[in-house]
Structures are given as structure tokens and as C-alpha cells.
């Protein structure tokens, strides 16, 4: 599969199979993240991989899923992620303007893991205080986001936007994700 095909086939996954993701793959993801572009090459990001079963059970309630269709969009019991990567910002290295670093690093992880046939969901709604304490994260680190991971147990589909951009589930529990049409967003040379 070409990189472009990989990109256009990727969707956020919120229902996972209970199959573990190997540590080798998890390490590759963090390596892909560390090699992403970083403003001024400051590299303020660090990562905590959560893959231990008991810790994952404690971690899961600290996340909020699929706001448009909650709770139907939440992972069902037995379909929770099998690993998480917590994206941290070392505030002593950079305390503002790190969002682009995060975006580049997380997208590298998302595409790397999708190439392995593993799904992901990038989560910003995190109970940061609870996670900070649970994972013993020093106070000079900010939790930016969490990448949930696992082998997909759903196949979301893309729809052209016909009004609302809110994603939705049909009667067969298939997730439909509206996306803007190319001709609605591309401008050559002038607006």
C-alpha cells in the first residue's frame, strides 16, 4: 500500500479486538514520534506506554470518547484498547508552541501503527490530574493527549459532508465519518 493509500484508508477506531500489541511495535511508534519535525529541534515531547492489563483498566475511565455519539461511540466491554501512549510535554524545554510538535509526532505514530493493521484513536479529553498521579508524572510535564491502540473491531466509513460534520452510527453499528469534499477546500493560486 502506498503512503497516500494508507492515509486515505485510516479512520479513528473505538472498538478493538482483545489481542495484544507487541512491545516491539510500541517501541517503533515512539521512535517514529521522536523523529517527527520539532520546532527549533527542541524535542520537548516524551511518551509513556501503558500496556499492563491492570493499569489499562484503571486508565480507561480517565478518557472520554466520541463526543458526538457518546456513550454509543465508547469502546464496549471487551473491546477496549490494549495499549495507550500518553504524550507528554516537558515544560522546562518548551512551555508554549509545542502543539505542532505534538501533531507531527502523533500523526507519525498513527500512520506507523495503521501500516501494521493496528487501529488508533487520538484522545484529547483526558482526566489529566488523575492520570498525572496514576502514572507518577512529574509536575514539570504536561499531558497533552493520549493515543489509544489495538487491532480494529470495526470498519468506519467516510461520507461526503451533506450538512452536518458530526459522525454517526447506523443501525448496523457502522460508524460514518463526514469529510469535506476536495473541491470545497482546494484553491489554486488565489482564493
Mean predicted lDDT score pLDDT of the chain:
96
132-187 per-position pLDDT tens digit: 999 999 999 999 999 999 999 999 999 888 788 899 899 998 999 999 999 999 99
Report helix angle 23-34 to 99-115, nearest 10: 140
pTM of the predicted structure, to 2 decimals: 0.95
Give the three-state DSSP class for 177.
strand
Going from N- to C-terminal start, the domains of the chain cover 3-155, 156-191
CATH architecture of 156-191: Single Sheet (2.20)
10-33 per-position pLDDT tens digit: 999 999 999 999 999 999 999 999
Q: Which three cell numbers stand for residue 122?
A: 487520538
CATH architecture of 3-155: 3-Layer(aba) Sandwich (3.40)
Residue with cell 443501525: 171
Amino acid at each position: 500500500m502506498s503512503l497516500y493509500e494508507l492515509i486515505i484508508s485510516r479512520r479513528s477506531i473505538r472498538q478493538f479486538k482483545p489481542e495484544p500489541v507487541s512491545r516491539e511495535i510500541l517501541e517503533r511508534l515512539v521512535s517514529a514520534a521522536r523523529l517527527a519535525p520539532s520546532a527549533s529541534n527542541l524535542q520537548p515531547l516524551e511518551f509513556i506506554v501503558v500496556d499492563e492489563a491492570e493499569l489499562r483498566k484503571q486508565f480507561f475511565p480517565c478518557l472520554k470518547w466520541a463526543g458526538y455519539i457518546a456513550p454509543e461511540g465508547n469502546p464496549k466491554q471487551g473491546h477496549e484498547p490494549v495499549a495507550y501512549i500518553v504524550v507528554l510535554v516537558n515544560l522546562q524545554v518548551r512551555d508554549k508552541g509545542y502543539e505542532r510538535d505534538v501533531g507531527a509526532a502523533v500523526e507519525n505514530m498513527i500512520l506507523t501503527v495503521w501500516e501494521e493493521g493496528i487501529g488508533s484513536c487520538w484522545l484529547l479529553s483526558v482526566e489529566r490530574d488523575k492520570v498525572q498521579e496514576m502514572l507518577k508524572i512529574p509536575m514539570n510535564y504536561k499531558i497533552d493527549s493520549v493515543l489509544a491502540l489495538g487491532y480494529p473491531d470495526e470498519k468506519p466509513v467516510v461520507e461526503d459532508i451533506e450538512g452536518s460534520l458530526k459522525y454517526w452510527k447506523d443501525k448496523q453499528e457502522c460508524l460514518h465519518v463526514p469529510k469535506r469534499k476536495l473541491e470545497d477546500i482546494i484553491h489554486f493560486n488565489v482564493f
